[in-house]
Amino acid sequence: MSTAPRHEPSTPGLRPVFLHAGWRSGGTWLWSRFRTLPRTLCYYEPLHEALAGLTPEAIDALHAAAWQSGHPALRRPYFDEFRPLLDETAGGVSGFHGDFAVRHFFAATDDEIANLADYLVFLLDHAARRGLQPVLKFCRTLGRIGWMQRHFPQALHVAVLRNPIEQFASARRQFLHSGNTYFLAMPLYLLAVHLHHPRVAAALRHLEVAPPPMPPDTGVHEGLAICDAAIRRSGALKAYQTFLAFWTLTAASVPEAIDLSIDIDLIKLSPDYRGQCEADLARLTGLPIELSDVKAGVDHGLLDRAGLSRSELWACHRAAEAVLTELGGPTWADRPTLARAGAMLSYASVLAMDGAITLHARSFAQVADWESLCAQAASLADSARRAERAEQQLAQREQQLACIEQQRVSIEQQLAAVHASGSWAVTTPLRWLRAHLP
């Protein structure tokens, strides 16, 4: 087994950039900021299953305005950079295999997947021959960043993270408005394909998720069709449990040695954090990245769009924290990657509190140092826990009141039955005498 890196940059100073993001996480927006720069060559979704049959006509048809993407306006189609790499004889992108999209998604760091590594080297070399800095934006690598780092140690590896409830609400909006289940079906399919992976099994158990069975040798498109049908049959709660199982696994899979993690939520809320990300990216890539066009603001009505109640959301997040405990042990909060996942779960819980997110958005905008930011995060988590306890106490009191009301109704029904009985009528004179005689 080889331990040497598979690729070294052929053009000194042009460090490849690997953006590892989830679906509906803001990764396309971040990638678009690199694409505006003149000396970059930016590949969109190099592991997308559609690349197996990509044609010039398909490239032209796949652009941000062709669907309700929510993506920034792009001057060129998503896959435009792949045009010179199309295989005119076999079709699709040269060197690409359809199983790159899902197979080995949770690959161990030392797994050998030679054809995948060779394909990525091919993309990097194509950019280097043109004297351009390659930027690869993935939505299918969050579970295998460690593998990517081992085989491409010269690249800058950036994890792009967003809290799960907003990601889920964005994916569910696609389903409700356009009938597009892809962003819910693909996570389910990835769980189903890796059903027996120990980490996957832990998440499925705690979140009570049972992926549909996959017949042997099921292809990506057939598997997605099976998961599409499962999503359409499930309600919002079951869909979120499934999505959260996948989100927790991928957030917990980010290596501690990642070059940079970017929290899309904080980029929206804190100008100071946004400025720090710009400085970090410029220092690590040598590129002047401008992030000021981010869609800032507070997402109101989030739970309605997600189709969840507060109690359902918080119960799901408790289960996700149980996954983190099983993966990292009782001291998981001391490990930066797992602690970050837990903090994002706490933030997502706070989003369910009426008016609270507006208040915290204002305070985040005033953050001047990281110690203050950590204090804000701790306050958010504490507020979420207090609100959850209050919600539970209120639910208990409502149950007690409901029991009392049931008892009252039962007693009134019994009294009515007695008053309507013949014995009650017969004994009426006796009761009168007892009430009036000394």
**So what's the pLDDT on residue 3?**
45
Other Cβ atoms less than 10 A from the Cβ of 343: the count is 18
Whether residue 380 contacts residue 346, with contact meaning beta carbons closer than 8 Å, is answered with yes
User: What distance in Å separates the CA atoms of residue 82 and residue 167, rounded to the nearest whole number?
Assistant: 28
Query: Cβ neighbours of residue 161 under 8 Å, at least 6 residues apart?
Result: 22, 25, 251, 254, 261, 262, 263, 264, 340, 344
Amino acid (1-letter code) at residue 316: C
Beta strands in 21-103 (DSSP E): 40-44
**So what's the pLDDT on residue 4?**
43
User: What distance in Å separates the CA atoms of residue 186 and residue 171, rounded to the nearest whole number?
Assistant: 11
**So what's the pLDDT on residue 374?**
57
**So what's the pLDDT on residue 408?**
85
Confidence of residue 357 (pLDDT cuts 50, 70, 90): low
Better-predicted residue by pLDDT, 135 or 367 = 135
Of 13, 88, 89, 23, the closest CA to residue 56 belongs to 88
State the greatest distance between any 2 C-alpha atoms of the chain, in Å, as a whole number. Answer: 116
Q: What percent of the chain has pLDDT over 90?
A: 64
Other Cβ atoms less than 10 A from the Cβ of 68: the count is 12
Identify the weakest region by mean pLDDT among 40-54, 115-129, 190-204, 400-414. Answer: 400-414
Q: What does the block give as tokens for 114?
A: 């030679």
User: What distance in Å separates the CA atoms of residue 302 and residue 172, rounded to the nearest whole number?
Assistant: 11
User: What distance in Å separates the CA atoms of residue 62 and residue 64, rounded to the nearest whole number?
Assistant: 7
Residue keyed to tokens 């990642």: 258
Give residue-wise pLDDT tens across range 207-263: 999 999 999 889 999 999 999 999 999 999 999 999 999 999 999 999 999 999 999
pTM of the model: 0.81
User: What distance in Å separates the CA atoms of residue 376 and residue 368, rounded to the nearest whole number?
Assistant: 12
Better-predicted residue by pLDDT, 437 or 53 = 53
Do the strands 260-263 and 133-138 form a parallel or antiparallel pair, or are they unpaired?
unpaired
Identify the weakest region by mean pLDDT among 144-153, 255-264, 354-363. Answer: 354-363
Cross-strand partners of 260: 158
User: What distance in Å separates the CA atoms of residue 387 and residue 284, rounded to the nearest whole number?
Assistant: 41
Judged against a pLDDT cut of 60, whether residue 367 lies above it is answered with no
3-state helix, strand, coil in the chain (%, to 5): 60, 5, 35
Query: Cβ neighbours of residue 11 under 8 Å, at least 6 residues apart?
Result: 128, 131
Better-predicted residue by pLDDT, 432 or 266 = 266
Better-predicted residue by pLDDT, 117 or 11 = 117
Q: What does the block give as tokens for 246?
A: 């996948």
Three-class secondary structure of residue 86 per DSSP: strand
**So what's the pLDDT on residue 346?**
87
Q: What does the block give as tokens for 116?
A: 């995948």
What b-and-e string marks burial along 192-211, b requiring 16 or more CB atoms within 10 Å of the CB? Answer: bbbeebebbebbbebbebeb
Judged against a pLDDT cut of 90, whether residue 169 lies above it is answered with yes
Give residue-wise pLDDT tens across range 393-410: 887 888 888 888 888 888
* Residue-by-residue DSSP string for 206-237: HHT--PPP--TT--HHHHHHHHHHHHHHS-HH
**So what's the pLDDT on residue 2?**
42
Identify the weakest region by mean pLDDT among 199-208, 242-251, 268-277, 382-391. Answer: 382-391
Mean of pLDDT over the chain: 88
Confidence of residue 352 (pLDDT cuts 50, 70, 90): confident
User: What distance in Å separates the CA atoms of residue 324 and residue 251, rounded to the nearest whole number?
Assistant: 10
User: What distance in Å separates the CA atoms of residue 41 and residue 39, rounded to the nearest whole number?
Assistant: 7
Beta strands in 247-327 (DSSP E): 260-263
* Residue-by-residue DSSP string for 27-44: HHHHHHHHHTSTTEEEEE
Give residue-wise pLDDT tens across range 57-93: 999 999 998 888 889 889 999 999 999 999 988 889 9
**So what's the pLDDT on residue 249?**
97
**So what's the pLDDT on residue 347?**
85
Better-predicted residue by pLDDT, 297 or 339 = 339
Q: Which stretches within 130-195 are classed as H helix?
A: 145-151, 164-178, 182-193
Cross-strand partners of 262: 160
Whether residue 102 contacts residue 221, with contact meaning beta carbons closer than 8 Å, is answered with no
Is the Cα torsion angle 207, 200, 331, 244 positive or negative in sign?
Answer: negative
**So what's the pLDDT on residue 379?**
66
**So what's the pLDDT on residue 392?**
79
Where in the chain are the domains?
A: 1-161
Confidence of residue 175 (pLDDT cuts 50, 70, 90): very high
Whether residue 124 contacts residue 233, with contact meaning beta carbons closer than 8 Å, is answered with no
Better-predicted residue by pLDDT, 268 or 374 = 268
User: What distance in Å separates the CA atoms of residue 315 and residue 206, rounded to the nearest whole number?
Assistant: 11
Judged against a pLDDT cut of 80, whether residue 52 lies above it is answered with yes
Q: What percent of the chain has pLDDT over 70?
A: 86
